[in-house]
Amino acid sequence: MLLFNKKLTASQACELGLITEVFPDSSFQSEVQTRLKAYARLPPQVSTAGPGLVTGTGDRDW
């Protein structure tokens, strides 16, 4: 996509697994706020360990 400057719609990106959800403009802000509140309630270890777990460099014993 970057190499050939191919643009995707949000629906196409979702179908390809590049994103997990698509929201209509009318509910976008409320959907984002709902998710941010849920993320804020997660233990701090989730935000610090997550990137390392994705790349394979993280400590899985937390």
Return the structure tokens found at 30.
């409320």
Q: What is the mean pLDDT of residues 30-50?
A: 85
Residue at 61 is within a domain: no
25-29, 40-44, 50-54: least confidently modelled range? 50-54
Provide the pLDDT confidence category of residue 11 given band limits of 50, 70 and 90.
Answer: very high
> Which amino acid is it at 26?
S
Q: What is the mean pLDDT of residues 6-10?
A: 91
Report angle CA 40, 41, 42 to the nearest 5 degrees: 95
Residue at 8 is within a domain: yes
Residue at 21 is within a domain: yes
Q: What is the span of the domain harbouring residue 19?
A: 1-43
Nearest to 59 by CA among 40, 45, 44: 45
Residue at 12 is within a domain: yes
**27 pLDDT above the threshold of 60:** yes
User: Tell me, what's the pLDDT at 51?
Assistant: 66
Residue at 16 is within a domain: yes
Residue at 34 is within a domain: yes
Provide the pLDDT confidence category of residue 10 given band limits of 50, 70 and 90.
Answer: very high
Count of the separate structural domains present in the chain: 1
